[in-house]
Structure 1
Amino acid sequence: MVQVRVAGVAVDSMGQHVILLKPLSDAPGVGSIVPIWIGAQEATSILVAVENAVTPRPLAHDLMTVMLQQLEAQVTRVEVTRITDGTFFAEITVAHGDQVLIIDARPSDAIALASRVGAAIWVADAVIEEAGMPDILDEDDAEVSVDEFKRFLDEVDPEDFRG
């Protein structure tokens, strides 16, 4: 497993939202990025959490956070565990007293929740090997980086990750 951070959320040439996960150990512009296509609502929820934005009404992941707090449970980590036929799978680890619960989840929901509660996000080595792309994002030269990334999104397709 490799610990990652949310490097960003983008929109591909077909208008689909893509979350970009970057290993913490990789410097900007080197290593890999794992793109995961997600729904528009999940993309919004992740961006709200990552940017600490305030919404007029709680989103579903805000409700999950409050419910966990009220139940005195804690999300300790989330993991993107595997890819099967192009579909990513994740698990949320929740601690409640002496119990540790592993809950199956979509990666987008797991990441949105982790982003709210400050839980670590991990990606399985096999997922990075299969779905990782060279990191072309250069945070020092954002203009060039954005152009290169747009070209990348124009050329890549979610079908590229089907076994």
Structure 2
Amino acid sequence: MKLVELAALVVETNSGMPVVVLREHDAPHRLLSIFIGGPEATSIALAASGQRSPRPLTHDLMATLVGSLDGAIDKAEITEVSDGAFFASLALHGPTGEQRLDTRPSDAIALAMRVGAPLYVSEAVLAEAGTLPPPEPEPDSTMDDAAIDHAVDEFRVFLDDIQPEHFGADPAADQADQAD
């Protein structure tokens, strides 16, 4: 299992469906995108921002219920992908011992985020459905130090010579407006 974190919550442009994007914590930082429902997206967004709904949402109720029964959510795991459908589980412990519950990934993510439990994705799921992030753009290194110094000097001269009229402003009109 690979530790992941919430990278983004976006709306897919063609379908208008919410997509949760998870990022692998360690290199190579693969991304996993999962389509989710609107209410689950709202719940995840609230948990990610630290905000609370005026009334408890279903995931708030579930987290409170587990805690009130002297239980705790230990971790959430996205365990499998089959025909584009993702499967997840929650690992819980309480007075009756440890339990593993089958759940949708969106519910697992929303609950884990509410209680601060870690979120994991199986290596098999990342290998099948994960993508590598786009490469970071290389800094433009076509200018050598002398060319950079020359460009900076030219910009300084420009700044020293600039006048309000260069921007189409009339200083006399501006002063008259301020006097009114």
- In 2: Cα distance, 1:87 partner to 1:123 partner: 14
Bigger radius of gyration: 2
Secondary structure at the residue paired with 2:134? coil
Aligned counterpart, 1:117 = 115
Q: Residues 40-55 of structure 1 correspond to what in structure 2 (within 5 A)? A: 40-55=38-53
Alignment gaps of 5+ in structure 1: 139-163
> In the alignment, is residue 21 of structure 1 matched against residue 19 of structure 2?
no
- In 2: Cα distance, 1:95 partner to 1:137 partner: 41
- In 1: Cα distance, 2:135 partner to 2:114 partner: 24
Looking at both structures, which has the greater relative contact order when contacts are Cα pairs under 8 Å and sequence separation is at least 6? 1
Aligned counterpart, 1:62 = 60
Secondary structure at the residue paired with 2:108? helix
Q: Aligned in 2, Cα 1:137/1:111: closer, same or farther, shift over 3 Å?
A: farther
Aligned counterpart, 1:81 = 79
Stretches (4+) displaced over 4 A: none
1:60-112 Cα deviation digits (max 9, x unpaired): 00000110111010000010000011100000000013611000000000000
Aligned counterpart, 1:4 = 4
Task: Provide the TM-score with structure 2 as the length reference.
Answer: 0.72
Aligned counterpart, 1:126 = 124
Structure number with the higher strand fraction is 1
Which stretch of structure 1 is more off in the superposition, 121-130 or 91-100?
91-100
Alignment gaps of 5+ in structure 2: 137-180
Deviation (angstroms), 1:136 = 3.1
Q: How many residues were matched structurally? A: 135
1:35-82 Cα deviation digits (max 9, x unpaired): 011001001100100110121111100000110111010000010000
For the aligned residues, what is the CA RMSD? 1.4
Task: Provide the TM-score with structure 1 as the length reference.
Answer: 0.79
Aligned counterpart, 1:106 = 104
- In 2: Cα distance, 1:126 partner to 1:10 partner: 24
